[in-house]
A and B are shown apart, each in its own frame.
Chain A
Amino acid sequence: MAALLSAPPAQRRSRTATSSERRRDRIWVMALAVVLGVEILYFSIAVSGFFGGGSGLLSLTEQFLDVGVIALGEAAVILAGEIDLSAGTMSSLSGITMAVLWRQGMEIWVAVLVALAISGAIGLLNGLIITVFKVDSLLVTLASQFILGAVATALGGGSPPYGFPGSFVSIAGTGTVGPVPDQLIVFAVLAAGVAIAIGRTRMGRSLALIGYNRPAARWSGIRVDRTVVGAFVASAFMAGISGILVSGLYNAARNDIGDSLLLPAITVVVLGGVDIFGGRGRISGVIIATFVLGFLTEGMLVAGDSSLSATMVTGILLIVCLVFKIGLERRGGSDVLGAVRRRAERLRHLGPGAGAPPAVGDELP
């Protein structure tokens, strides 16, 4: 065997015989890219006013990149098998904090840094509560979502600050480099950073392993708690950045849109192929899913549909994708038909008298 491994033929074979998991992840990302292409093509042809040339298309992205930035952080948390429901209101709080500090006379860019630091600190607090007291992240971040939202509303008061300096609005908001909006550049940098961090750093590597099998990660000497806290800090930090971008875009601090960012962000993460229970997933999928969902919403809005129907279509898209994805890549499955067949078989095995029901017993310690 040793010879097999060191010999070149084995090496070559190892490249072709990649794990079916990885292959299916790749297929998923490619499928998303195809959907994105079809979607843009469809709206360009069918909806007048959607396709305003390359730059028009690019400028449309400003409308949804705030969701994408939150999704990048949320993806890290979900990969670790946790969830962060506070990301939406975190985004509001960050924008408000920045704006209030600026109105108090602080230099705007210093205010941005302070707001981001506070975001990170709140993420740290979230993570510590979750890991130290072993409370489910769903509950902790549900609670902090309310707290952050309330604080943001209180800080902003009746009329949140607006009218930021032009340099800020141009860079964080509506400015462009050539045809490319600044926000898109910021998103690209963040996305590349997160993708590399997840794929190639110690922390990212640990994160996915924790998501796959948390006890095994602990038994392998991975610092589970520390890594999970890190993911929450990352998520809060990204949400903070998103809040700054929102403020720049509207040239006003908004404490009212945080809630509406969270669920689209989670949708993007799941649509991007990240397993909601952790472990599997690629950031590239999340990035493409941001555009798939974003252009879909914008396209429908341009076409004159109400934002309600856009939301409804989002929901339908999510369900269709997930059903398809389960067929494609249910764990242990190798093909769609096989998955369906196994499912049918499992149904056949169910039934009270037919031996011990499967799955439930897996929870035994």
Chain B
Amino acid sequence: MSPDRLGAAAQTRGLGHGVPVGRARARRVRSPGGTEERVELAELGERVPGEAGTGRVPSAPGGTGQGGRPEAGSPAVSGWGAPARYEARSVTKSFNGAIVLDDVSVTLEPHEVHTLVGENGAGKSTLFKILSGLYTPDSGRLELGGETLGDLTPRSALGLGIYLVPQEPKLMAHLSAAENLYVGILPRRRVRLLVNWRQVHREAATYFERVGLQIDPATPAREMSIAQQQLLECARALVHRCRVILFDEPTSPLTTHETEILFGLMRQLRDAGLAIGFISHRLDEVLEVSDRVEVLRDGRLVASLRRGEATRDGLVSAMIGREIGVRTRVRRTSDVTERREVLRVESLTSEPIFRDVSFALESHEVVGVAGLVGSGRTEIAEAIFGLRAADSGRVAIDGRVLERRSPRACIEAGLVYLPEDRARHGIFSEVEITRNVTAGTIPRLPRRWGLIRQREEQELAAASAARTSVRMQSLEVAIATLSGGNQQRAMFSRWLLAEPRVAILDEPTRGVDIGAKDDIYDIISDLAASGLACLIISSELEELCLTCDRVLVVYEGAIVGELRGEEITAARLGELVVGGSSS
């Protein structure tokens, strides 16, 4: 069937109107074997809410012949792309003898957002990887629309309409948004070697519009924010006409505002009949968006709750297997009498990212910085720490102005910085814990004749790791073997060795599970109690409410508000970070 005829067919179905949503087009897709080509009709408007009841437009006759794949032609999937239930039955998976998933059964229903919660290492991501064909289960089976799937590979999963949006979107950094959207399936002109870039960009733009991604299709992926990259992944799922989309912890790098956009899209896809899988550590958003919540603990399914049945406390106790009291915020401001200023930042400016930033921190104080990703909050911290050149402004630590700021000089003066991106800027993943812990204070390590005394170094590292309760087999294993929470504790112990006066903590609980999160709050509050001034940068407004005595709000590179004590509520912060008035 020629593309022309397909176009005509689309017209007769009345889908040719209303550019861009109703545009129909033909594209050629290589079947997995690469031997035959199927021509399929992609209807951009097919999953708009309201059309969901009619299901998806069956593809052209050639479309169901999927080159010898087990599902080809079977009745259950002949309406290719129709809403289907996706089930994992008694799935078990172990790595190197450690059981990660133990007899787990889950069902993803169409028209539902299905959420998995659990601590780090509970097996959530592993389950999603099995569902998307990245891992093969040791036992158990997968069923899509009642049909048992054979060996699922990422490729065949995609063919069946199952898409995994990974934790960190993996786009090709140097390709444009549009090229990333169509990786492997670039629509071509009738002369098949050539790509019709105008058409590609036009169609990409319509997909981007559907997922709420406001971006020029020609933008290279490396210039896109994480939120934008995730939306692009969603658009890819649409391009592939997926009916099951799995989101592996998509919201952890997103701000509240970006999260809302993503949730809007997830609901829209759900209403269109897709089965949505979702993993998150943030229970409030889990409760907000989920139709069903299942709790994994140590590789087993321990609870399955429908919307309405699930409560925050219930989930938490199911996740950690014990009851925990709701954490209340700690306010130290009033208790401490003896306080002095330890950090002063004056009119720090680095155009065009931020300007005229001034604030001060006192000892014993925990101050938050709230702001959207891109508001300049991390950049301000980096400029203070000497990682980024500032146009003007001064930074004083303990009353002494640092003339030439560099990380080394800041550490010597008593300022440390816990980076946001632990894997890139924090840990040396293949290096032993000892050397990771002492990496920030190499010049101060005990030496004799200029040589580092390794035994004493190890004792120092052990003592510091003990202060933050790093859980580990030994100090001599690579830090990558630790869980996220323990890596973060090791980072805290690194900076404890520097005996800091001020600590800038950038997303201190990113990639850390709930139980460990509380421990990190405890560490922070202990440190503050011992006199350290902490500046916490966080996307999680709740976290700021919980830990901070004061919160500075950054919007488009300027401090636009400050909340104190009882004024600090998630609602107020949420308003301010998007530029709302502070009145």
**A residues bordering B, Cβ < 8 Å?**
1-2, 5-6, 10, 13-15, 17-22, 196, 200-202, 205-206, 208-209, 212-213, 215-223, 279-280, 331-332, 334, 348-349, 351-358, 360-365
Contact B172 A360 (CB under 8 A): yes
* Chain B proximity of A106: nearest CB distance (Å): 32
A202 contacts which chain B residues (CB < 8 A)? Answer: 442-443, 445, 447, 452
Contact of A209 among B408, B411, B439 (CB under 8 A): B439
**B residues bordering A, Cβ < 8 Å?**
29-30, 32, 96, 132-134, 153-155, 157-159, 163-164, 166, 168-174, 183-185, 221-222, 229, 233, 236, 240, 387, 406-408, 410-411, 417, 419, 424-432, 435, 439-440, 442-443, 445, 447, 450-452, 454, 462-463, 465-467, 469-471, 473-478, 480, 494
Contact A364 B466 (CB under 8 A): no
Contact of A17 among B387, B440, B477 (CB under 8 A): B477
Contact B170 A360 (CB under 8 A): yes
Query: Known interface pairs A219-B387, A219-B407. Does A364 touch B430 (Cβ–Cβ under 8 Å)?
Result: no
- Provide a sorted-by-A list of 6 A–B residue pairs whose CB atoms are within 8 angstroms: A13-B473, A219-B407, A279-B428, A356-B166, A356-B183, A361-B172
Contact B153 A348 (CB under 8 A): yes
B478 contacts which chain A residues (CB < 8 A)? Answer: 19-21
A338: nearest chain-B partner, CB-CB: B96
A1 to B450 Cα, complex, angstroms: 33
A17 contacts which chain B residues (CB < 8 A)? Answer: 473-474, 476-477
A208 contacts which chain B residues (CB < 8 A)? Answer: 431
Contact of B452 among A1, A15, A205, A215 (CB under 8 A): A205
Contact B222 A365 (CB under 8 A): yes
- 4 nearest CB pairs, A to B: A352-B184, A361-B170, A14-B474, A354-B155
Contact B183 A357 (CB under 8 A): yes
A363 to B169 Cα, complex, angstroms: 11
Contact A353 B451 (CB under 8 A): no
* Chain A proximity of B275: nearest CB distance (Å): 17
A279 contacts which chain B residues (CB < 8 A)? Answer: 428, 430-431
Contact B477 A349 (CB under 8 A): no
Contact of A220 among B185, B429, B494 (CB under 8 A): B494
A12: nearest chain-B partner, CB-CB: B474
Contact B476 A355 (CB under 8 A): no
Contact of A201 among B169, B428, B451 (CB under 8 A): B451
Contact B469 A219 (CB under 8 A): no
Contact B442 A205 (CB under 8 A): yes
Contact B408 A223 (CB under 8 A): yes
Contact of B426 among A206, A219, A352 (CB under 8 A): A219
A348: nearest chain-B partner, CB-CB: B153
* Chain B proximity of A89: nearest CB distance (Å): 32
Contact B474 A356 (CB under 8 A): no
A202 to B439 Cα, complex, angstroms: 10
Query: Known interface pairs A17-B474, A19-B478, A209-B428. Does A1 touch B466 (Cβ–Cβ under 8 Å)?
Result: yes
* Chain B proximity of A95: nearest CB distance (Å): 31
Contact B426 A216 (CB under 8 A): yes
B183 contacts which chain A residues (CB < 8 A)? Answer: 352, 356-357
A358 contacts which chain B residues (CB < 8 A)? Answer: 170
Query: Known interface pairs A212-B430, A213-B428. Does A354 touch B435 (Cβ–Cβ under 8 Å)?
Result: no
* Chain A proximity of B155: nearest CB distance (Å): 4
Contact of A212 among B428, B462, B477 (CB under 8 A): B428
* Chain A proximity of B453: nearest CB distance (Å): 9
B471 contacts which chain A residues (CB < 8 A)? Answer: 1
* Chain B proximity of A346: nearest CB distance (Å): 10
Contact B439 A222 (CB under 8 A): yes
Contact B426 A364 (CB under 8 A): no
Query: Known interface pairs A21-B430, A353-B155. Does A215 touch B435 (Cβ–Cβ under 8 Å)?
Result: no
Contact A354 B451 (CB under 8 A): no
B182: nearest chain-A partner, CB-CB: A352
Contact B169 A221 (CB under 8 A): no
Contact B173 A355 (CB under 8 A): no
Q: Which of A209, A213, A216 has the most CB of B within 10 A?
A: A216
A6 contacts which chain B residues (CB < 8 A)? Answer: 462, 466
A14: nearest chain-B partner, CB-CB: B474
Query: Known interface pairs A1-B470, A19-B432, A222-B439. Does A356 touch B407 (Cβ–Cβ under 8 Å)?
Result: no
A243 to B29 Cα, complex, angstroms: 62
* Chain B proximity of A231: nearest CB distance (Å): 16
B30 contacts which chain A residues (CB < 8 A)? Answer: 353
